[in-house]
Amino acid sequence: MVPVQVKGEVLDMRRVGAYHVLSLTAPGITDITRPGHFVTLGIGGEESSMVLRRAFAIHQVQSRGVYGGTLDVVIGVHGKGTRWLSERRRHDVIDIVGPLGRPFVLPKERVACVLIGGGYGSAPLFMLAEQLRERGCRVDVVVGASTEEKLFGVLDLKRLASTLTITTDDGSLGEHGRVTDVLPALMDRVDAGVVYACGPMGMLQAVAELATERRTYSQCAVEEAMACGIGVCMTCVVPVIGEDGVTRMLRSCVEGPVFRGDRVRWADVGTIPPDTLGAPEQGGH
Partner 1 sequence: MTRAVISSGPMPGTEPTMHMDMATDLAGILMPSPVLTASGCAAAGRELDQFFDITQIGAVVTKSVMLQPRSGRPTPRMAETPSGMLNSIGLQGPGIDRFLEHDLSWLDERGARTIVSIAGRTVDEYAKLAARLRTAPGVDGIEVNISCPNVEDRGQVFACDPTAAANVLQAVRRNSDPRMPIFAKLSPDVTDIVGVAESVVRAGATGVSVINTLLGMVINPDTMRPHLAGITGGLSGPAIRPVAVRCVWQIRKAFPDLPIIGMGGIRSGLDALEFILAGADAVSVGTVVFHDPSSPMRIHEELEQALVERGFATVAEAVGYAHRGADPVDQEDDLDFISE
Enumerate binding residues for partner 1 (CB under 8 A).
Answer: 2-5, 42, 49-53, 95, 97, 224-225, 227-238, 248-249, 254, 269-272, 276-280, 283, 285
| Residue with smaller CB distance to ligand FAD, 11 or 190 | 11
Size of the site for ligand FES (CB under 6 A): 12
| Residue with smaller CB distance to a copy of itself, 16 or 52 | 52
Task: Provide the b/e sequence for 262-276 (b: ≥16 CB within 10 Å).
Answer: bbbbbeebeebeeeb
* 251 interface partner picked from a copy of itself, ligand FES, ligand FAD, none, CB below 5 to 8 A per type: ligand FES
Task: Find the binder of ligand FES among 53, 138, 251, 263 (CB under 6 A).
Answer: 251
Task: State the nearest-atom distance from the C-beta of 147 to partner 1, in Å.
Answer: 16
Q: Phi, psi at residue 275, to the nearest 5°?
A: -95, 10
Residues 122, 35 contacting (CB under 8 angstroms): no
Task: Find the binder of ligand FAD among 71, 73, 192, 228 (CB under 6 A).
Answer: 73
- Spell out the alpha helix ranges (H) of 232-272: none
Nearest to 138 by CA among 102, 119, 113: 113
Task: Find the binder of ligand FES among 1, 4, 185, 233 (CB under 6 A).
Answer: 233
Task: State the nearest-atom distance from the C-beta of 252 to ligand FAD, in Å.
Answer: 7
Instruction: Provide the pairing of β-strand 237-241 with 247-251.
Output: antiparallel
* 46 interface partner picked from ligand FES, ligand FAD, a copy of itself, none, CB below 5 to 8 A per type: a copy of itself
As a whole number of angstroms, the distance between CA 252 and CA 156 comes to 29
Residue 249: CA count within 13 A, CB half-sphere: 20
205 dihedral zone (left: phi>0; alpha: psi -120 to 50; beta): alpha
Residues 208, 262 contacting (CB under 8 angstroms): yes
Question: Contact residues for ligand FES (CB under 6 A)?
Answer: 226-229, 231-236, 251, 253
What residue ranges bind ligand FAD (CB under 6 A)?
Answer: 38, 52, 54-57, 73-76, 78-82, 120, 123, 223-226, 257
